[in-house]
Structure 1
Amino acid sequence: MKNPLQKQFDQLETYLEKGNLVAPNVSAKGIYWHIDHSLRILEGVPEMMRQSKPEDFKPKSSLLKFVIMNTSWMPRGKGKAPKDVLPDEGELDKDSIKVRLDRTFHQVNSIRDLDEKAFMRHPLFGSLDKKETIKFLKIHTHHHIKILKDIVKKSNA
């Protein structure tokens, strides 16, 4: 049985067939951008967790973290992602994203095997333990899947 993160990963893959649709009233970025960005997060976080050291764990408290982690809702257009998870517009095509999909599949599946003390460092939320990291990844991926759905819906309107 697939876990929710794997199911979301599969959902991202289905949008690859939609091409690079754009709906400016939904997002300035198109389908490929949102898929690639989501995959960069899903690919990079498990690696970050693998390299984490328990003694470096430094959680932070904030109202924004509390709201997002407890409601599973992220506001649109408010976040600023680090440069290393932003796609290069010139390299966004079906083939390059398919390569990233294949690499990312293994990373997503590797999270369950990571040590319980593994964590990710979020630029705003500080350190997130394994359980919080998985929850954040689900929230973040769901956020982009909702944007993808709206892009498709608005581009067909």
Structure 2
Amino acid sequence: MLSFVKRLDEQLLDIEAHVIDANVRTAEISAWNVGQQLEHLLIAMTGIMRGLQRGQMPHEARKSNELRDYAFTKKSFPRGAVQAPAVALPSDSPDTKSLKRLVLKTRNRLAGIMDIPSESMMNHPILDWMTRDECIEFMTIHNDHHLAIIRDILRLRSA
């Protein structure tokens, strides 16, 4: 599990490095600009970690979830397969100052993620209940997905 946490730290550095590209948009790749991609990632990570800290437990057996199973099996998910949940939607034009603040907030939460009990769970709006370790792994998969989109946006812009 520590390898996933290390990967999250590395991804957060990558996210932070892309803040300067916040206003770059390539409509052929995504309706969101780089800043919106980053804000979505940071909102999602913070929300997941806050959910885990609440330590809720499901009242019934966890349901099968095709997208969750796919993501954990393939370590990815297809582009455009799912719309972001309303709670993780970015603003229309996030500015670099707010993104830098979100990076710091996310980094602070991430520093304590292994202090959360491993049996702690959170109810993801699309993927249903996940344990702490599943959430950590999912965040790396989700971040990889959006960081790849960002790389494609930037590559097309400079082509």
TM-score, length-scaled by structure 1: 0.92
Identity of matched residues, %: 25
Native 8 Å contact 2:48 2:124 kept in 1: no
Q: Distance in 2 between matches of 1:55 and 1:16?
A: 37
Change (3 A) 1:56 1:108: farther
Considering only aligned residues, what root-mean-square deviation do their CA atoms show, in Å? 1.7
TM-score, length-scaled by structure 2: 0.90
Amino acid at match of 1:71: K
Query: Which aligned pairs between 1:23-62 and structure 2 lie closer than 5 A?
Result: 23-54=26-57, 56=59, 58-62=61-65
Amino acid at match of 2:117: D
**Residue 116 of structure 2 is aligned with which of 109, 114, 125?**
114
Change (3 A) 1:42 1:73: same
The alpha carbon displacement at 1:135 in A equals 0.8
How many matched pairs?
Answer: 156
Change (3 A) 1:73 1:55: closer
The alpha carbon displacement at 1:11 in A equals 0.7
Tell me what 2:96 maps to: 94
Query: Which aligned pairs between 1:2-151 and structure 2 lie closer than 5 A?
Result: 3-54=6-57, 56=59, 58-90=61-93, 92-151=94-153
Change (3 A) 1:55 1:79: closer
Give the ranges of 4+ consecutive aligned residues of structure 1 lying more than 6 Å apart after TM superposition.
none
Unaligned runs of 5+ in 1: none
The alpha carbon displacement at 1:131 in A equals 1.3
Unaligned runs of 5+ in 2: none
2:123 is paired with a residue whose SS is strand
